[in-house]
Each structure stands twice: as structure tokens, then as C-alpha cells.
Structure 1
Amino acid sequence: MSDARVEHLTTSGVFALDGGSWDVDNNVWIVGDDDEVVVIDAPHDSAAIIEAVGDREILAVLCTHGHNDHVNAAVELGDAMAAPVLLHPDDRVLWDMTHPDREPDGELSDGETFEVAGTELTVIHTPGHAPGAVCLYAPQLGVLFSGDTLFEGGPGATGKSYSDFPTIVESIRKRLMSLPPETVVNTGHGPSTTIGAEDANVPEKG
């Protein structure tokens, strides 16, 4: 029996890469119960995330990828709440642009599971938007946390360094579209959607 629930927070800041910068709003997803949670992505404002978590224990900060607008508050959050910050190793090149003097506390690997409040989150490696991009699937909750891999409207952006459109399309088609169509997709930016709703928005090949 799981008492886990999904809570949503939005923080605002700047995404910077390849010499450009853009104002962005980022989704933060908090999964857990009244005692313990995991935080999925820690952008821009650690104080806002700490306030949302309250006196609950953060078991881990799970980074969907290493772009600065998803990890720039992760170290501060992890240190303040004694929580490990975890990232797929293929995204260290991006992480190091934001945190050159601090390694993540651990690695996320494809197929790894995390238990929080009686529910499981499974790591799905979905490269394309970034080499180490991952999604987190909670089948008991019927929810996928997609980071910037899949949005309402289709695949995430691939116009910047370390991204590749054919790769993201393959990741979505092979790893995500096999999930139940009613699965809710909680994204890194903007509104949530479902796997079924996005099927028509993802090409068969990149």
C-alpha cells in the first residue's frame, strides 16, 4: 500500500548554454508522503524547494539531466537537507559547467529503482536532449517524470550542444511509448500530458 503523492512546484530562472541565455520556468516534482520524499530536479531556488518539503526527509535529489536550469540549486538543496544528489554519469559534461568543483553524490543508472513512501520510481535512460537524460517512472502512481525528453507537443529540444534529434526520437519511441497510454507525463517545463496524447506528436524516426 502506497501513500505516495505527487506535489508540484514551479521555479523561475535562466537556462544558459552555448553562449546564450533564456528566461525559463521549471517544474519541480516532489514525490512522497508526510514523512519522506524524493525531489525530481532542483532548479533556481533551493529555498522554495526546502519550504515545500518542510520537515520531511529528502531521500534523494534525482536530476533528470545536467542542464544548469535543472541542477543549479541541487548542491545547495542537497547540502541543506543532507540528501544525496544523483545524476546519470553521461551528463557529467553538462553538470560540470554549473558545478565544476563538486561532483554529484552518486549516479543514476538505467533500470535502477528508488522506493519512497511505498512506491517505486524506475530510472529510464532516454538520451537525446542530453546524453545522460533520464525519465522516472512510477507505475503505481501511473506517472512518468520526463524531464526535458517529452513535452506536451512532442520531443524536447535538440538544437544545442550534446543533443541529437534522432536519438531523442528513438528514446521516446523505444522506451516511453510502450508505457500505458493513460500514463500521466509530468514534464520539466510547462503542462503535463499523457503518453497516449503524445503518440501522434512523436515521429516514427528522427
Structure 2
Amino acid sequence: MLLVDDERMVCAHLRTILSADPGIEVAGEAYDGAEAVEAVVRLRPDLVLMDLRMPGVDGLTAIERIAAFPDPPRLVVLTTFDHDEYVLRALQAGAAGFLVKSTAPEDLVDLVRAAVGGGTVLSPVAARRLVGVADHRQRVRDRIRDLTEREAEVLAGLGNGESNLRIARRLHLSEATVKGYVSRLLVKLDCDNRTQAGLLAQQAGLTSEPG
């Protein structure tokens, strides 16, 4: 397996824990996403334990690149849970599960072995947080369900931080028409301003880069 974390002490700690199990071989370490992609090509590990927040190429980008390989290894996220949505995106990109860094050593070994065997692994606290985020996103989507296609396009523009003029040009509408759409959206979605509406668009996954 391959360990990926920008903190070398974390990698050393993980190596000590995991190498103590005779059924687990740590083939190497990488300290950012770019190194991780190169190491997968070079070492061909059966599993990658990947941190998300790293300088340079982050873990999410690395997961997307590795998951696109013809025969990718199992990818498991390792996180401190600073950004739940980021973890959701990692799972959508191809990760087989995620663990928190506070996982007990004996549990970590069991979860890694399960992941190598093809299972989806979730730390208990991670599973609870994931369910909470998924439920929230579903509530948000229910809230925008009755929007027309054009209203959803305008809302997505707000989520991307576009001005009325930019939205108008993209959708081939007049600026006045877009202004009218925005006003109706604020009423329909019970939002006080376009910033709140834009945040709603991000939470619903309408934007090009979900928040």
C-alpha cells in the first residue's frame, strides 16, 4: 500500500502501525498529490491511504487522476474532517471510503485490511457525519426541486459568483430579464439576498465547483 500525507511524521506513524501487521506491506510514501500519482504508476500498490488537504496538488485531484487509471488501486481517504463536502466529493471521485486520523490503531489495521479485500470502509464518526451531510444536501435539493430549468441556470450563476450581466450573456438574455429571475428566486427560495441564494446553489451541487 501507499501512504500519502504532507506531514512526514503522520506517514511515519501510519507506517509503524500498519507494518506491524504481517498481512500489510507499506510499499512507499508520498507527500503531495502529484507524488502520489507518480508513486502509483511506479509502485502499483493495491491500496492508497490518501490525505485530502495538501499543498500543491491536493488529495481530491490526486484521487480523480488515480481513479481514471485503467486498473486503479483501492483509494481510501484519510481526513481530520475539516470539510465534509470535500470528503463527499472524494467519494464521488472514486474513493472506496474514508477514515479519520483519530481512528484507534487496531481499528485502522482492520479497516485497511477490509479495504484491500474490496470493502467500503467508514470510521463510525465519519459515517455519521456523511449521513448528516447527505441529508442536508437532500433537503436543499428538495427546496429547489420546483424551479424551472431557466431558474436553475440563473441560480447556478449566482452560486458561481456571476453578475447579472454575465449571467445574461451566458444565457443569451437581457440583463433586465435576469434581474427579474433573481428577484423571483429570492422570493421562491425565501432568501434575503443573492449571496444566500448562491450558497444554496453551491450546497445543492448546481455550481461548477460545489462548495
How high is the TM-score relative to the length of structure 1? 0.30
Higher helix share: 2
**Highest RCO, 1 vs 2 (Cα 8 Å, sep ≥ 6):** 1
Higher strand share: 1
